[in-house]
Amino acid sequence: MKNFVSILTLIGVLFILSACSEDEPDLIVTSFTDELQEPIEYFEQLHDVKVDLQIIPTENYVNTLRPALESGSGAPDVFTGEIVYLKDWIEQDYWENLSQEPYNVDEWRDDYMEYVWDLGINSNGEVRAVSWQTTPGGIYYRRSIAQEVLGTDDPEQIGQMFSTMEGLMEVGENMKQHNYRLFPDEGSIAPYTNGANPQPWVNENDELVMTEERLAYFDYAKELREKQYTALAPAWSPAWYASFTGPISYNVGWDEIDEDADQSDQTEVFAVSLPTWGLHSVLKEEAQETAGDWAVTNGPTPYFQGGTWIGMYKDSENKDLAFEFIKMLVNDQEFLTEWVMETGDVLSYYPVMEEVAADYADEFLGGQNHYDFFIERAEEIDASTVTRYDQQIDELFGTQVGAYVEGNLTKEEAIEEFYSQVVNAYPNIVVPE
């Protein structure tokens, strides 16, 4: 027994020692995805330094990082921010003011898309964060299925069909006749409901803004489900990823759809709504089997989703190196050209985009030049509707739409419940009667 205790003590001491002896990195970068892994490796070779990338999952990102930024203990040198809390963060004293000496990033201004640049400026006119990307969305679809069912795989023509909600539903019906499904899940239609009349979730008077268009999401989602235009594969679930590479099982768990039991229990998904970054971080990663069979086109309305800004911590001890990293990521022509060639990411940095977009063919997208398409779409982005509540309110809203689609609540009950949950989470917000 005594030995047992002393062995445990020994193990404990060894662990503590081993934890202490890890070598210190030169720079610590914190983000919510592994997207920066490759840029970091590039940077490490370039400058012969060691950079640590800490990834904190999106749902914990704000709550875990914020205390470190406020207290300074355990704060990273460089950290990213998602568009939804960007506005909040640039007003706090978290990111270093990049407008001042020796950074003077205001000189870069003209090279960037206006909305992307402006989002990083706080109310004092100081640039606190910058971004390399722009994130308009579209509908990615499978060329082979388009060819078989719709008789064409041309993005222009498909885009014509997708240009209204009715058109989208028509394609859905057509797909179903051939035992394909338009979308993996109902969420793919969400961008085009609010997109028809973009409004912030919460206005400057702290009032929740509910529009007809937002309410229409309930009906469209229900329609998609009832007419079986979706494959019941919720976004980001394993089945969702699997739906990009081939048939997935479609053993409907619902009573209402029983009559169609003679249909095959497998189905293949035609299309999915994703923003620019979906191409390299989702499709190119997870759908290698169907590479070359994809194309991207417009949906009924423009939309954009997400966007990562980056800045350096105001009390970082490695500001020079930190700025070098940021500079490479957003303003280094050579690096960004390489990055674009490899990933197909769409940049907000014109010099590279103009050069690349002029003559580009993405192999994954069957040779399509998606830059032409996305840069045009990016011009339509209105980022003024972004609020810091978006992530949580979208989640609450989606849950209630889901409850309605599943038949657990009526539309009125679901809306009522949504309002009540918003007030419960944010007592300061006033909801419509």
Partner 1 sequence: MKKGNHQAYLFIAPFVIVFLIFNIYPIFLTFYYSLTDYTGMGGIENARFIGVDNYIRLFSDRYFYQAFFNTIRIWGFNFIVQMLIALGLALLFSDIRLKLKGVGLFRALFYLPNIITIASVALLFSILLDWNHGGLNQMLLSLGFIDRPINWLNSPAYAQSAVALIGAWMWFGNSFIVLLAGISGISKDFYEAALIDGANWWQSFKFITIPQLKPILLYVLITSIIGGLQIFDLPMLLTDGNGSPQGALNTMVLYLYNQAFKYNNFGYGATIAYGLFFITVIFSAITFRTMYRKQV
Partner 2 sequence: MNKMKLARFIIYTFLILLVVICFIPFYMMIINATRSNSEILRGFSLIPGDALKANYQTLTSYMDVWVGFRNSLMVAVSVTILNAYFSALTAFALVVYDFKWKNVIFITFIVMMMVPGQLGLIGLYDLSETLGILDTYWPLIIPAIAAPFTVFFFRQFLITTMPISILEAGRIDGASEIHMFHRIVLPILLPAIATMGIFTFIGSWNNYLVPLVIIRSPRLYTLPVMMGALSGSPVAMNLGAMYLGIAISVVPIMIAFLFLSKYIISSITAGSIKG
Tell me the longest C-alpha to C-alpha distance in the chain.
79
Q: Does 67 bind partner 2 (CB under 8 A)?
A: yes
Q: Does 9 bind partner 1 (CB under 8 A)?
A: no
The single-letter DSSP state of residue 182 is S
Q: Does 71 bind partner 1 (CB under 8 A)?
A: no
In the list partner 1, partner 2, none, the entry touching 125 (Cβ below 5 to 8 angstroms by class) is none
Nearer Cβ to partner 2, position 66 or 222? Answer: 66
> Looking only at residues 250 through 289 of this chain, which bind partner 2 when binding is defined by CB under 8 A?
286
In the list partner 2, partner 1, none, the entry touching 177 (Cβ below 5 to 8 angstroms by class) is none
In sequence order, which residues have a C-beta less than 8 Å from that of residue 93 and are 6 or more positions away?
Answer: 314
Q: Does 9 bind partner 2 (CB under 8 A)?
A: yes
What is the rounded distance in angstroms from the CA atom of residue 202 to the CA atom of residue 209? 6
Q: Residue 70 CB, nearest distance to partner 2 (Å)? A: 8
Nearer Cβ to partner 1, position 42 or 426? Answer: 426
345 backbone dihedrals φ, ψ, rounded to 5°: -65, 145
Cβ atoms of 334 and 352 closer than 8 Å? no
Q: Residue 321 CB, nearest distance to partner 2 (Å)? A: 20
First to last CA, the chain: 68
Q: What tokens does 3 get?
A: 């030995």
Rg (CA), the chain: 24
Among 74, 238, 292, 367, binds partner 1 (CB under 8 A): 238
**Segment near partner 1 (CB under 8 A); pick from 47-55, 104-112, 230-238, 269-277:** 230-238
Burial letters 289-327, b for 16+ CB under 10 A, else e: ebeebbbbbbbbbbbbbbbbbbbbbbebebbebbbbbbb
Other residues' Cβ atoms within 10 Å of the Cβ of residue 125: 9
- Over the window 134 to 173, marking each residue x when it contacts partner 1 by CB under 8 A and - when it does not, the resulting string is ----------------------------------------
Q: What tokens does 210 get?
A: 């509910």
In the list partner 1, partner 2, none, the entry touching 74 (Cβ below 5 to 8 angstroms by class) is partner 2
Cβ atoms of 304 and 382 closer than 8 Å? no
Q: What tokens does 222 get?
A: 């229900």
What is the rounded distance in angstroms from the CA atom of residue 275 to the CA atom of residue 206? 29
**Segment near partner 1 (CB under 8 A); pick from 124-132, 141-149, 286-294, 389-397:** 389-397
> Looking only at residues 402 through 421 of this chain, which bind partner 1 when binding is defined by CB under 8 A?
403, 406, 408-409, 420-421
Among 17, 48, 251, 432, binds partner 1 (CB under 8 A): 251
Tell me the sheet residues that pair with 268: 180
What is the rounded distance in angstroms from the CA atom of residue 377 to the CA atom of residue 357? 14
Among 232, 279, 282, 381, binds partner 1 (CB under 8 A): 232
Cβ atoms of 252 and 195 closer than 8 Å? no
Q: Does 89 bind partner 2 (CB under 8 A)?
A: no
Tell me the sheet residues that pair with 79: 30, 311
Q: What tokens does 142 get?
A: 């499978």
Closest CA to 306 of 111, 69, 61, 110: 61
**Segment near partner 2 (CB under 8 A); pick from 52-60, 170-178, 322-330, 356-364:** 52-60
Among 125, 151, 427, 432, binds partner 1 (CB under 8 A): 427
**Segment near partner 1 (CB under 8 A); pick from 165-173, 206-214, 251-259, 342-350:** 251-259
Nearer Cβ to partner 2, position 45 or 251? Answer: 251
Nearer Cβ to partner 1, position 89 or 132? Answer: 89
**Segment near partner 1 (CB under 8 A); pick from 76-84, 95-103, 187-195, 250-258:** 250-258
> Looking only at residues 219 through 248 of this chain, which bind partner 2 when binding is defined by CB under 8 A?
236-242, 248
Q: Does 361 bind partner 2 (CB under 8 A)?
A: no
Other residues' Cβ atoms within 10 Å of the Cβ of residue 183: 25
In the list partner 1, partner 2, none, the entry touching 290 (Cβ below 5 to 8 angstroms by class) is none
Q: Hey, is 141 helix, strand or coil?
A: strand
**Segment near partner 2 (CB under 8 A); pick from 5-13, 175-183, 268-276, 325-333:** 5-13
Q: What tokens does 140 get?
A: 């990615």
Q: What tokens does 39 get?
A: 């840029």
Which residues are near partner 2 by CB under 8 A?
1-2, 5, 8-9, 11-12, 15-16, 19, 34, 54-60, 64-65, 67-68, 70-71, 73-74, 236-242, 248-249, 286
